[in-house]
Structure formats: structure tokens, C-alpha cells
Amino acid sequence: MAKVRPIYQRLNISNLEKRVSARVNKPQTFQATLFDPVAPDMVQQEKMYSNIENTAHNYKVVHNIEELKFLVESILKQKEICFDTETTSLNIFEAELVGISFSWKEKEAYYVPFPKDNETQKTYLEEFSKILLDENIRKIGQNIKFDILVFRNYGIEVKGEIFDTMLAHYLLEPEQRHNMTYLSEKYLKYTPVPIEDLIGKVSNNGLWIQCRWIKFRSMLLKMLMLHIN
């Protein structure tokens, strides 16, 4: 816990720290015997998960500034949102914004392609900042530090309470994987569309690549908080 405590303090998630610390430090009192049943994860079972083919979803693209302003008005009424950035690189020093997705309802997400001309970019960033600077809105993300640094490169500081699903799961199960596919299957019984199935096969790749993840994060937050508590 000592190693991650500075991360909690920087991201303003001290309440989560307290709950996880209490869970991690709680002594284990059980003792296995020869007659105990085999643990479920030790039994090889066929996994049956939901997927995009049998699950309702509603993805929308924001095409212009008028639609973006309408979206921002709706987001500012929420207590918490999920957001994710699509960039040209995973190197924070080289990454340029390609688009950003938002979600606050299960199975519904919005994707905002980032314009290429400088003047329109400024207008879009002004709208994004209304959301990201609002301290009354909790922001949920996966490896959200990356998204925070991306917006910092554009002069926007993300404020308010932060919840990172990857970090939360690391504290619960540090030895396991923490990617969105694993978390979705483990906690939501849902298999997202592999990115390999999208690239080159869907006309609006940005929309599908972004929205296939974003719609699950508020659901993951609730599931992870149940386990932490």
C-alpha cells in the first residue's frame, strides 16, 4: 500500500485507499482441509459470455460543434461519467488527440472525433474543459492517468474525483491481468469485440474502437466497489 499511496493522494481518491487498505490488511482466518470443495477457478469450465451480437447497444457520433454543445449540456447534469481518449501514440510525449468518448448510461456511448484545424480544435477544447474542470463530476477511466496527461498537453487539468478501474483491480488482484477484456469477462460476463476484428472492417473504426470499451466502465466501477467494500 505504501507504494500506491502517493498515487491515491495525487488523484484525490483517498476514500478508495482506506477501503482497499482495510481489505488488504484484514487477516485471513480460514484453513483449507482435504474435504473442502475444489475452488471454482480451479475447475476448467466452458465460459459463456455476452457479446455485441446479443447485447443491445447505442453508439453515437458527434459530428459538429452544435451536437458537441448539446452533449456537453447533458454531461454537466451528471454526477459521474466515463471518458476515454483515442490518440496517435501511446507515448505521452508524442500522443495527439484523435477523439474522445463519453458514457454515463449502460450500453450507451458517444464518440467525438477531434477536428484537424486549429481554430475548430480550440472550440472543441473549450467544450471539453467545461466537463473536465467540473469538480462535481466524478471521472471514471481505465489507466486514466494517460488520459489526464493527454489533456494536460492541451492545457486542460482534469479536476474532481477520479476512479481508475485498472488501478482498483490491481489492488484487488495484483497477480492477474488488468485489461478491459479480462475485467469485462470477469465482472460483467461480456466479451468485447477484439480490435483485430474492427481494424479495416468497419467504416467508422474510431466510433467502434472507443465505444466498445467506454460503455462498461461505470458498470465496472460498481462491481469493483462491491468487492472493495
In this prediction the pTM is: 0.66
Mean pLDDT (10-residue bins), the chain, 229 residues: 52 51 47 45 51 65 95 96 89 92 85 93 98 96 92 96 85 77 72 54 46 50 53
Using DSSP's 3-state secondary structure scheme, residue 227 falls into helix
CA separation for the pair 207, 205 (Å, rounded): 5
Contact 57, 216 (CB under 8 A): no
CA separation for the pair 109, 59 (Å, rounded): 5
pLDDT at 91: 93
The C-alpha cell that represents 23 in the structure block:
481489505
pLDDT at 194: 57
pLDDT at 171: 77
CATH number (3.40.1190.20, 3.30.300.20, 3.40.50.970, 3.30.420.10) of 56-228 reads 3.30.420.10
CA separation for the pair 179, 119 (Å, rounded): 36
22-34 as b/e, with b when 16 or more CB fall inside 10 Å?
Answer: eeeeeeeeeeeee
Query: Domain-by-domain residue ranges, the chain?
Result: 56-228
CA separation for the pair 174, 168 (Å, rounded): 10
How many residues are present in the chain? 229
